[in-house]
Amino acid sequence: MTDAVGSIDMPDADDEAPESKKKARKGGKRGKKGPLGRLALFYRQIVAELRKVVWPTRSQLTTYTTVVIVFVVVMIGLVTVLDTGFARVTKYVFG
């Protein structure tokens, strides 16, 4: 079975390095950093992820906002009608 990179059964030569060449790490990247270093790493990762976001254009944002407001108004109307109907039924049943 193959994928875009190569065969799954036969990994790339770079992927398999002899164990003698690899260094064993105890804590990974976080093992050598203090709390402030970890906080800085976390902040850098947040900024990196936000740069990947595809932000909507002004027209898309206006469209999305309008759709949400119209949906909320329709739902408010539906709940109001149901609430009024249930209130009248309850008043009729219990007097």
Contact indicator for 22, 14 with CB cutoff of 8 Å: no
* Per-residue model confidence (pLDDT) at position 31: 56
At 70-81, the pLDDT tens digits run 999 999 999 999
Number of domains in the chain: 1
| Distance, CA of 57 to CA of 80 (rounded, Å) | 34
In a domain, 34, yes or no: no
In a domain, 3, yes or no: no
* Per-residue model confidence (pLDDT) at position 14: 57
For residue 24, pLDDT beyond 60: no
In a domain, 85, yes or no: yes
What range defines the domain where residue 66 resides?
55-94
Measuring CA to CA, which residue among 3, 6, 24 is closest to residue 14? Answer: 6
82 phi and psi angles, rounded to 5 deg: -65, -40
In a domain, 2, yes or no: no
For residue 61, pLDDT beyond 90: yes
Predicted TM-score (pTM) of the model is: 0.50
Helices and strands in the chain: count of H runs, count of E runs: 2, 0
Question: 2 pairs with which residues across the strands?
Answer: 7
